[in-house]
Amino acid sequence: MAASCSTSLFLVFSSLLIFSSLLYVSEADYSAPITKGLSWDYHHKTCHKVEKIVRKHLKKVFDKDIGQAAGLLRLHFHDCFVQGCDGSVLLDGSHGGPSEQTAPPNQSLRKEAFDIIEDLRNLVHRECGRIVSCADIVALAARDAVHLSGGPDYDVPLGRKDGLSFATENATLANLPAPTSNATTILSALAVKNLTPTDVVALSGGHTIGVSHCSSFASRLYPTQDPTMEKTFAHGLKEVCPTNTTDATTAMDIYSPIKFDNKYFVDLMNRQGLFTSDQDLYTHKVTKPIVESFAHDEKLFFEAFVKAMIKMGQMEVLTGGKGEIRAHCSIRNPDNKAYFSYLVEEEDQSDLETRAELR
């Protein structure tokens, strides 16, 4: 029976991947402006295999645990919303004080997500040298997390550099809206980042995959139940989280928790959104019709999500001579003892290539 169930799940997931391969959205379909210093083919000459390397590795990762897709997508969000898409959330803080990772909103980021990004950096740098930034790898990994879990495929503008500093805890708290925030608060906070209400609702749709800890929504259950929450849904959550201090997790989308689709918006219409920040999107007069349109038209949601992701992925990016390309994603190069031997290896390799060209 267990073997039969496992086989069925594998066949279902495989069919999702085949179907998702048809959902490709090229940059030609979107006229979103590209930040100076980024381009669609930035690594074409210097590391043309980078996207294949990332996708090949992530396919292996997700074959073992598709849950890691949500972790990588969330990592990109938390990186970009705080201090821009500069890979600063990856820094471990061993030099220069506490890192962004110690701030409350980031403490639930998956450790495996950080490890996967470092594994990808190692694979890419082994193939191409220290050419691709950790920030670019995070953006590519988020795109592949979406696509390989059933969502749209799309091009990502590249050329980001890695930041030399991390944000303070106060800055992190100020730039990552809490799950207890209402729609008005979220719209105001993200309007400052040039995100429209449609962008905000589309990006919130990323909650269609992944899990959440009880602490993120317990206030909707205890001491009294949020009246906007559907009763049967609330009863199920109380079984997972019997107290307001229970340390457990539950799927954010009860319909299809491992598939990137539009069912999250169906959840909201059924009053089965997990967070206040989710459910209130269906209450607010500005966002409610957007939620409804995405719930009824998955293609429309995918198109809006891609536009919003491309826009978000360019927030306050460092390009050109700003920032660096880290030799290790969790350590700034000036703090990395191994970096100096890494430079010698790069110089030696460069000399060999130059001599070969002169022969």
> What pLDDT, on the 0 to 100 scale, is given for residue 99?
84
Structural domains counted in the chain: 1
Better-predicted residue by pLDDT, 24 or 176: 176
Burial class (CB in 10 A: 0-12, 13-18, 19+), 247: exposed
The reply to whether 287 falls in a domain is yes
pTM of the full structure: 0.87
Residue 296: active-site member: no
> What pLDDT, on the 0 to 100 scale, is given for residue 27?
43
Ligand-binding site membership of 100 (annotated): yes
Question: How confident is the model over 97-117, as a mean pLDDT?
Answer: 91
Ligand-binding site membership of 185 (annotated): no
The reply to whether 73 falls in a domain is yes
What pLDDT, in 10s, does the model give residues 55-82?
A: 999 999 999 999 999 999 999 999 999 9
The reply to whether 113 falls in a domain is yes
Ligand-binding site membership of 261 (annotated): yes
> What band does 17 get if pLDDT is binned at 50, 70 and 90?
very low
Q: Is beta strand 211-213 parallel, antiparallel or unpaired with respect to 249-251?
A: antiparallel
Ligand-binding site membership of 257 (annotated): no
The reply to whether 220 falls in a domain is no
Is 80:176 a contact under the CB 8 Å cutoff? Answer: no
The CATH number of residue 135's host domain is: 1.10.520.10
The reply to whether 283 falls in a domain is yes
The reply to whether 59 falls in a domain is yes
> What band does 341 get if pLDDT is binned at 50, 70 and 90?
low
Ranking 8-22, 71-85, 287-301 by mean pLDDT, the lowest is 8-22
What pLDDT, in 10s, does the model give residues 180-231?
A: 999 999 999 999 999 999 999 999 999 999 999 999 999 999 999 999 999 9
Ligand-binding site membership of 84 (annotated): yes
> What pLDDT, on the 0 to 100 scale, is given for residue 222?
97
Block residue for tokens 């995918």: 302
Block residue for tokens 């795109």: 143
Could you tell me the two tokens for 272? Answer: 């089965």
> What pLDDT, on the 0 to 100 scale, is given for residue 25?
52
Cα separation, 131 vs 159, in Å, equals: 10
Question: How confident is the model over 84-108, as a mean pLDDT?
Answer: 86
Ranking 31-40, 58-67, 137-146, 158-167 by mean pLDDT, the lowest is 31-40
> What pLDDT, on the 0 to 100 scale, is given for residue 9?
42
Catalytic residue, from 76, 78, 284, 328: name it.
78
Ligand-binding site membership of 86 (annotated): yes
The reply to whether 359 falls in a domain is no
Cα separation, 283 vs 111, in Å, equals: 34
> What pLDDT, on the 0 to 100 scale, is given for residue 23?
52
The reply to whether 142 falls in a domain is yes
Ligand-binding site membership of 177 (annotated): yes
What range defines the domain where residue 180 resides? 49-210+252-313
